[in-house]
Structure 1
Amino acid sequence: MGYTPQEVQRNEKLSIFNGASSIIVLSLISGFIPLFAIEVLNATNSQIGLISSLPSIMMIMSMIPGAYWLSRAESKKKFTGVNIFAARFLFMLLLFVPLIPVSNPAWILVVIIALMNFPIALATLSWQSLIGDLIPDARRGQFFSERSRILTIVGMIVTFVAGVFLNLFDKSNPLPFQLLFGIGFGFGILEVYFLMRHVEHKEKQKPVQQKLFKNLTMTFKHKPYLYFLTCAMLFNFGWQMAWPLFSIYQINDVHATALWISIFTVANQLAQIASYKWWGKSADKWGNSTMLFICALGMTTAPIITIMTKNFYVLTLTNLWTGLFVSGTTLLLFNQLLRVSPGENRTAFLANYNLMIAIIGCFAPQLGVLLLEHLGMIKSMSISSVFRLIGGLSFLFLAFYFERKKGGTVGTGTLSQ
């Protein structure tokens, strides 16, 4: 049974409120975790690398049972809500880490980060499947670009305010971080509240959905999905390799304060706000894969131009530049994932995608840190750029060979089998 226009409109509105609450949590907590780890807990480069890679390990551990549990759940909405609450509760526990009398509390932070990403992975999988049901395909491009723009504005404001607040205190003082973690938990409760108000039509699960491993294997036989997955894995390898390197460079090499880190983030988000609609319209005209190649080219420049300077103002402009491509990358990857994942058994397609990207996320950040230890920051960042470029070229190959040569619809970014 489909959703009425009124129900779709209600779900879109609630999804924006839910997303805004979620982005506030992430802005208050996740955005300053590296600073908290390094300045307050004296975390090492290896521990920062683990903070980037352990979420992917937990995602791998959660995908198989998560897809099975979700396929048996009576309500995707309730399943998502329970896991979001569990994740936010673990977020709240971060405020107690500095109080634990151990010689190296950074390891406790690493463990909590790892644990919280198990329910986060489950919630992400179920939310993707749920929102794919609630928002019609014809509305997704316009809605998600607008939703992303609004959420980025909210995140930008919260990040800047939090950065100003943290800058009022000494960098090693845990109190302001603890206050942010507590406020973040409060918005996590609101996040669950808005999610549970969505209109969901419960449907009986089909027997074939219980054959989980068979369904995961069969996703590889759907050619549009397989082609996209391969390209996404190549690009994500180069993308995620540099994630811990940026934090280490900004905090250890540039010695950026919480205020400057928030300014970098705000500059990045301002560019995202300005470019979301353009990416959506361009994808409608030229296809998701073609525009993903353009995004990948922009993302390729990010590591190189970042390490060219330690000037705070130039780094702000650098983040402004890279934000133009971050918005397109996140928007188009998600839209293309939904587009190539059939409505029937969508949970299996989404689970398999998240699983494959999580496998990349396990070793890519660790490889980045390993390269940093042996080759230094310049060479390790340069290698990340090379892999990003290879991923971008794969999207170009997908666009011109598979989509156009094989008769796919370029304007919508779809592929023919």
Structure 2
Amino acid sequence: MSNRLHLTRLPLAFLTAALTIELLDELVDGVTGAAWPLLRQDLALSYTEVGLLLGVPALLANVIEPVFGLLADAGRRRAVVLGGGVAFAVSLALYAVAGNFWSLLAASVLFYPASGAFVSLTQAALMDAEPSRRENNMARWTLAGSVGNVVGPLLIGLAVTLGLGWRPVFALLAALTVGALALAWRSREVLAGGRADEGLDWRTSLGEAWAALRRGEVRASLTLLECSNLLLDVFRGFLALYFVDAVGASPAVASLAVAVLTGVGLVGDALVVPLLERVPGAWYVRWSAGVAALVFPAFLLVPSVPVKLVLLGVLGLLTAGWYAVLQARLYGSLPERSGTVMALGSVAGLAGGAVLPLLGLVAERFGIEAAMWLLLAGPLALVVGVRGRR
């Protein structure tokens, strides 16, 4: 009963719109990841072109997205979100009709910043709409994304089984975006937030962002988010290679390992939603990070593949909720400056992106197992750095 009452504090239309937008964004991520072999074959892409498609749009987005955040804090969040939704739908339609590398690159270059405007600023609006329950609503947001990430590859698999190929899937996602955009339009007043009529300009927002970055609490929150990502996206990105190159497992077993981590992580995200109704988020992150700091070395040291898979599932449960709690705490450190949070997060993402090439160099010189040991810094940093608010 209490959870139902908590949900009614937000307008139902807006909550539905926000969670649908995050679900859709992660659906696209899951679909795109699973469709790369099909895209490479049908469009005759080289590995160099695949690397450019993955790297260039993401880099450009990290440069552009801080501007969206500053515009949002200048009172233009609603326009940026809705405009981003239109660009999001158009980019997916361009994916569906792409015929070569250049057209696919154009779709990607449009999609990445569109996702920042449409999805990230919707998250910001969700955090502003109910400040006292940021951790709980971030947990719901993360759960919606986890569902999309799991279902996305299944959509590609179903389309291939039916002989449809990958293009109809992207066309379907474009159509679903139009529906999500309609839901967002119904909630445009909530999207606007409390600064829509303040008449601020982007220079003022830029000054506020610089002042925020000078605060130790904000820098610590950004750092902890990047540290948590070592056992989240970074670990997941290297996992299949680790199983093949270090463990000596087959590609099929490596795929199973990724599925275990993703699937159990979805269960963990579902369990975190009611858990955060009962325990403080900071306590949960420190406790789970402490246990993860013990389980992760065991995962690396144990020789048995079945035991590794079991420990991998335990890690999936332990790391669930880290992003939700830490991102909510970052929003809490900058109340009514959610666009600034997005801008600073993009800047921190540029710095955090340097971790991947560094790990690649370590793996190249000393082996991938040595690179994996460096990821232990993530949970250790959370144990030391996460503190409850006074």
What's the CA shift for 1:119? 2.1
Local SS of the residue matching 1:205: coil
User: Percent of aligned positions with the same letter in both sequences?
Assistant: 11
**Contact 2:225 2:323 (C-alpha < 8 Å) held by counterparts:** no
AA aligned to 1:127 is T
How far, CA to CA, are the matches of 2:344 and 2:314 in structure 1? Answer: 32
How far, CA to CA, are the matches of 1:59 and 1:127 in structure 2? Answer: 17
Structure 1 vs Structure 2 CA RMSD: 4.1
Q: 2:132 aligns with which of 138, 141, 159?
A: 138
Query: Which residue in the other structure is 2:112 paired with?
Result: 117
Query: Which residue in the other structure is 1:197 paired with?
Result: 186
How far, CA to CA, are the matches of 1:251 and 1:114 in structure 2? Answer: 32
Query: Which residue in the other structure is 2:343 paired with?
Result: 351
How far, CA to CA, are the matches of 1:39 and 1:382 in structure 2? Answer: 33
Cα gap change, 1:309/1:193 in structure 2, threshold over 3 Å: closer, same or farther?
A: farther
How many corresponding residue pairs? Answer: 374
**Contact 1:167 1:258 (C-alpha < 8 Å) held by counterparts:** no
What's the CA shift for 1:329? 0.8
**Contact 1:220 1:226 (C-alpha < 8 Å) held by counterparts:** yes
**Contact 1:152 1:269 (C-alpha < 8 Å) held by counterparts:** yes
Query: Which residue in the other structure is 2:356 paired with?
Result: 365
Cα gap change, 1:321/1:50 in structure 2, threshold over 3 Å: closer, same or farther?
A: farther
How far, CA to CA, are the matches of 2:146 and 2:155 in structure 1? Answer: 15
Q: Does 1:162 align with 2:162?
A: no
**Contact 1:49 1:365 (C-alpha < 8 Å) held by counterparts:** no
**Contact 2:65 2:113 (C-alpha < 8 Å) held by counterparts:** no
Query: Which residue in the other structure is 1:255 paired with?
Result: 251
Local SS of the residue matching 2:329: helix
Q: Structure 1: which 5+ residue stretches go unaligned?
A: 400-409
Query: Which residue in the other structure is 2:207 paired with?
Result: 214
What's the CA shift for 1:61? 0.8
AA aligned to 2:95 is L
How far, CA to CA, are the matches of 2:85 and 2:34 in structure 1? Answer: 24
TM, length-normalised to structure 1: 0.72
How far, CA to CA, are the matches of 1:317 and 1:88 in structure 2? Answer: 39
Query: Which residue in the other structure is 1:403 paired with?
Result: none
Cα gap change, 1:397/1:322 in structure 2, threshold over 3 Å: closer, same or farther?
A: closer
Query: Which residue in the other structure is 2:328 paired with?
Result: 335
How far, CA to CA, are the matches of 1:46 and 1:317 in structure 2? Answer: 36
AA aligned to 1:192 is L
How far, CA to CA, are the matches of 2:298 and 2:23 in structure 1? Answer: 28
AA aligned to 1:271 is G
Cα gap change, 1:84/1:310 in structure 2, threshold over 3 Å: closer, same or farther?
A: farther
Q: Does 1:179 align with 2:176?
A: no
Q: Structure 2: which 5+ residue stretches go unaligned?
A: none
Local SS of the residue matching 2:278: helix
TM, length-normalised to structure 2: 0.76
Cα gap change, 1:21/1:81 in structure 2, threshold over 3 Å: closer, same or farther?
A: same
Residue pairs, 1:267-286, within 5 angstroms: 267-282=264-279, 284=280
Query: Which residue in the other structure is 2:32 paired with?
Result: 33
